[in-house]
Amino acid sequence: MQPASVNPATLRSRIGAIFRVTSGNFLEQFDFFLFGFYATYIAHTFFPASSEFASLMMTFAVFGAGFLMRPLGAVVLGAYIDKVGRRKGLIVTLSIMATGTFLIVLIPSYNAIGLWAPFFVLLGRLLQGFSAGAELGGVSVYLAEIATPGRKGFYTSWQSGSQQVAIMVAAAMGFALNALLDDAAIREWGWRIPFLFGCLIVPFIFFLRRKLEETDAFNSRRSHPEISDVFRTLVKNWKIVVAGMLMVAMTTTAFYLITVYAPTFGKKVLLLSASDSLLVTLLVAVSNFIWLPIGGAISDRFGRKPVLITMALIAIATSYPALKFLAADPSFYSMLGVLLWLSFIYGLYNGAMIPALTEIMPAAVRVAGFSLAYSLATAVFGGFTPAMSTVLIEVTGDKAAPGLWMSFAAVCALLATLFLYKQESQLHHSVKKNFG
């Protein structure tokens, strides 16, 4: 079945639809990146401990806890979106996400309200994670369903593209804060300014989301499953969901390694300046933004499978050696070069992976299935990449150890890709045999 389109089918309306649907993605990633980058300041404000390592680990654990809520959000909100429609469902996810963001911004410090401070930070992260569980899937499926024939990869790449814009804006704001404020001011109150900006743009994003049109693909479906039916279909197709999770593992691990964890890695491990680490992250986001649609377009032209397999093999072969090279000679330029290489791998892989994941899920549970697979991967792999990287470096004493974590994720992705496309090939062969 060819992807349906949004009426009126004009270039201007399509661009507008892409902008409106990805605006919530921007907010989600903007807040997630800020939490990762300002982890040391958040640790100081909300999670004081006897050692800096313990304080930082508590902060990253709360950061990761938000990802543990994603699978629950994927199932509950994803099923809701498959039932009521993409437009209504995405407005609900935005509302929950905004609530979590406001909580984190407005909470006083641990010194002011004691244990209530980390409790409300955790609550805010859980709300953000719950909404994000279905946000990515809802946006990706929406883009896939409005794509013109033969360009699904290019269209769906803008889901991740909007996240890169969020990284650019967040990194630029952080770079500006470092130039205008001293470290003490940023530590005490300056880190809240970018989060406040995220709160201020929420009404604008609500305005954009309310103007979304429902997709023709959803409207043309004769019946829409009840939420209980969605749950049963997900259980029936558990192998596809698990394999999809493993295929996404490389995307989430690479993304959080080269963006969310990169500033902390640059400052605390490589001992580079905060400004240098932020500038590298900003340039990596620009690189991601360029490579993502290229990866989607290449997969439209040559197929998803060749791109996925090739980039997974390259990741397995080069992730650890690249970080070993960086750890041996840390500098602004070596960090930039290594992360741009990992950005190239991530961009081409993810550009093919997003449309592939929308294609392998049964149509009736497309949002829930996509969201669950993506959320499980984020919970198990990506979301805990900062914490896992911190632990691996602490335990092994090897500053390049995060490269081993990315290589492991790439192995999982490669095996899952081979399994999923073998299943697809067997299904096509069976259909051809039975129906000619």
pLDDT tens profile 390-426: 889 989 999 999 999 999 999 999 999 999 988 766 5
271 within some domain: yes
The answer to whether 230 and 82 have CB atoms below 8 angstroms apart is yes
CA pair distance 269, 37, nearest whole angstrom: 14
pLDDT tens profile 200-253: 888 888 888 888 787 777 777 766 667 777 788 888 888 999 999 999 999 999
272 within some domain: yes
pLDDT at 1 over 50: no
222 within some domain: no
93 within some domain: yes
The answer to whether 274 and 281 have CB atoms below 8 angstroms apart is no
CA pair distance 190, 38, nearest whole angstrom: 10
CA pair distance 13, 88, nearest whole angstrom: 19
Structure token pair of residue 317: 């072969």
Backbone angles phi, psi at 387, to 5 degrees: -65, -45
Structure token pair of residue 228: 């209980």
Residue 436 binned pLDDT confidence (cut-offs 50, 70, 90):
very low
Please name which of 192, 184, 171 lies closest in space to residue 101, comparing C-alpha atoms: 192
5 within some domain: no
Structure token pair of residue 106: 């407005």
pLDDT at 103 over 60: yes
Q: 270 CB contacts (<8 Å, ≥6 apart)?
A: 277, 326, 327, 330, 335, 399
CA pair distance 413, 400, nearest whole angstrom: 21
Q: 89 CB contacts (<8 Å, ≥6 apart)?
A: 77, 80, 81, 134, 138, 367
Structure token pair of residue 267: 């400052």
CA pair distance 145, 294, nearest whole angstrom: 20
2 within some domain: no
Assign residue 246 the CATH number of its domain: 1.20.1250.20
Place of tokens 């992250």: 281
Give residue 81's domain range: 11-210+234-429
The answer to whether 78 and 142 have CB atoms below 8 angstroms apart is no
CA pair distance 146, 169, nearest whole angstrom: 27
Q: 80 CB contacts (<8 Å, ≥6 apart)?
A: 89, 92, 134, 227
Our count of domains for the chain comes to 1
pLDDT tens profile 42-57: 888 888 876 777 777 7
Determine the straight-line distance between the first and last CA of the chain, rounded to whole angstroms: 18
| Entry field: residues in the chain | 436
Please name which of 332, 339, 191, 333 lies closest in space to residue 272, comparing C-alpha atoms: 332
297 within some domain: yes
Helix axes of 402-435 and 385-396: crossing angle, nearest 10 degrees: 130
% of the chain at pLDDT higher than 90: 28
Identify the residue with better confidence: 435 or 347. 347
217 within some domain: no
What's 98's DSSP letter?
A: H
CA pair distance 322, 312, nearest whole angstrom: 15
What's 415's DSSP letter?
A: H
CA pair distance 337, 335, nearest whole angstrom: 6
pLDDT at 435 over 60: no
Alpha helices in 259-379 (DSSP H): 262-264, 274-302, 304-328, 332-360, 366-377
Structure token pair of residue 9: 């089918």
What's 1's DSSP letter?
A: -
pTM listed for this prediction: 0.81
